[in-house]
């Protein structure tokens, strides 16, 4: 090979490399406001803390799922039966029900039937923990994959306010305690991190309007993805009228109120700025029965016209396992272990709140500086809870369960 040809090849290679390296790279660390799971990647923190409570969230609709799943049309036994979990976290909440569901469907359609299970969550989600649970590396709860053939697991790192899988592809899908998270924060409050008694009419209107739009967007996305005859099961964090006071309240209101109280004290003490307090807003909305039924009751709505019909909608109270553990130990052993209650409760519910407080802090702060402040916040909340009567935090975990079919 001549020197001239060799030099030409080298120049061409360098030009190609220059064009490749000039392609912009998306650095997630620099994206403001993005949700980041709490805990070390791959350590299964969600399932080992909050999962202890979420494990039972499927129970109120368990029998309906197992019964109705057998009615989903599936005539071509050589094709694939597709199952999806939206807002899946690390897979711990769905592990047991998917084990039962797969066993039921295998018995109904035959052991050689192929199943595909797709877990959806945000692109920055800890999918490492999900797949460790699937492989049994994180052993609790036990993975159905360890004892089942012809079951294949995939993940979709796509926001569920977009279409996540191909149209007309899913037979069964569920979403447990995730649709309260909104696609955007519609308003900010000078006085609180979520709506409270001081919230203005304008703030409440903006919040509820965004929640209504997002609920419709979520349902329409799932409608496109569902096969005819397919099922969607959703549990919604509920807003309700307190039976004792008659006041309108929402899931975990006492805990959110305490977080707000301590964060406000941080602002007054100068640990955070007023702007940082205002920028800390929980981007969610708990809904009542009328709000979740509205797209189905209105037969002219886009949701109804898409073919989704509501088979059932039921308000259910789930047990607060942390409160029950404290109460049982007190009743049986005479030990009022409020410190353990506060520790378990706070570590569990930090999973969904930590990112909001981190994002509320100014980008002028270092990552270490932000973490120190938020660690201090949850530490102070835990200490304060340990000096309070757990009866205050006995949360009637109210959810609305919807079973929906595509026709």
- What is the average per-residue pLDDT within 119-137? 94
> What is the spatial distance between Cα 84 and Cα 59, in angstroms, rounded to a whole number?
18
Residue 203: both structure tokens together: 């703030």
Lowest-confidence pick of 90-94, 295-299, 399-403: 90-94
CB 280 within 8 Å of CB 357: yes
**pTM of the model as a whole:** 0.89
Digit-coded pLDDT (tens) for 345-388: 999 999 999 999 999 999 999 999 999 999 999 999 999 999 99
CB 394 within 8 Å of CB 320: yes
> What is the spatial distance between Cα 15 and Cα 18, in angstroms, rounded to a whole number?
5
Query: In this structure, which long-range contacts are made by residues 209-212, counting pairs with CB atoms below 8 Å and at least 24 apart in sequence?
Result: 210/182, 210/183, 210/184, 210/186, 210/285, 211/182, 211/285, 211/287, 211/291, 212/291, 212/294
Kindly list the distances between the CA atom of residue 332 and the CA atoms of 52, 133, 306, 323, 324, in Å, as whole numbers in the listed order: 21, 34, 54, 14, 12
Digit-coded pLDDT (tens) for 242-269: 777 777 888 888 999 999 999 999 999 9
CB 312 within 8 Å of CB 64: yes
Give yes or no for residue 220 having a pLDDT over 80. yes
* Alpha helix positions (H), 110-154: 127-135
Digit-coded pLDDT (tens) for 34-79: 678 888 889 988 888 887 777 778 999 999 999 999 999 999 989 9
Residue 251: both structure tokens together: 């899931």
Q: Which of 308, 290, 295, 310 has its CA nearest to residue 402? A: 310
CA atoms within 13 A on the CB side of 401: 18
């Amino acid at each position: 090979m001549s020197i001239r040809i060799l030099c030409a090849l080298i120049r061409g290679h360098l030009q190609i490399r220059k064009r490749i390296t000039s392609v912009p790279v998306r650095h997630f660390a620099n994206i403001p406001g993005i949700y980041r799971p709490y805990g070390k990647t791959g350590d299964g923190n969600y399932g080992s803390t909050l999962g202890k409570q979420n494990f039972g969230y499927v129970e109120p609709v368990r029998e309906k799922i197992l019964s109705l799943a057998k009615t989903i049309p599936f005539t071509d036994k050589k094709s694939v039966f597709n199952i999806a979990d939206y807002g899946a976290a690390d897979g711990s909440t769905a592990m047991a029900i998917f084990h039962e569901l797969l066993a039921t469907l295998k018995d109904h359609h035959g052991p050689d039937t192929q199943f595909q299970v797709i877990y959806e969550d945000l692109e920055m989600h800890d999918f490492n923990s999900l797949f460790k649970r699937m492989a049994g590396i994180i052993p609790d709860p036990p993975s159905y994959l360890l004892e089942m053939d012809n079951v294949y697991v995939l993940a979709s790192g796509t926001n569920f306010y977009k279409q996540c899988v191909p149209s007309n592809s899913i037979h069964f899908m569920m979403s447990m305690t995730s649709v309260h998270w909104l696609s955007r924060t519609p308003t900010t409050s000078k006085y609180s991190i979520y709506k409270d008694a001081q919230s203005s009419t304008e703030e409440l209107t903006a919040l509820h309007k965004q929640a209504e739009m997002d609920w419709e967007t979520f349902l329409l996305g799932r409608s496109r993805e569902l096969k005819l005859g397919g099922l969607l099961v959703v549990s919604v964090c509920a807003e309700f009228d307190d039976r004792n006071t008659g006041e309108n309240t929402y899931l975990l209101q006492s805990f959110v109120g305490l977080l707000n109280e301590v964060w406000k004290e941080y602002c007054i003490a100068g640990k955070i700025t007023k702007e940082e307090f205002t920028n800390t807003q929980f981007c969610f909305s708990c809904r009542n029965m009328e709000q979740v039924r509205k797209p189905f009751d209105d037969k002219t709505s886009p949701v109804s016209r898409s073919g989704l019909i509501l088979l059932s909608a039921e308000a259910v109270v789930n047990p607060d396992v942390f409160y029950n553990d404290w109460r049982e130990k007190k009743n049986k052993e005479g030990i009022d272990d409020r410190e353990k209650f506060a520790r378990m409760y706070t570590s569990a519910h930090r999973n969904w709140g930590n990112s909001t407080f981190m994002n509320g802090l100014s980008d002028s702060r270092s990552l270490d500086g932000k973490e120190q402040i938020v660690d201090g916040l949850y530490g102070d909340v835990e200490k304060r809870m340990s000096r309070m009567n757990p009866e205050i935090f006995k949360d009637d975990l109210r959810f609305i369960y919807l079973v929906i079919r595509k026709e």
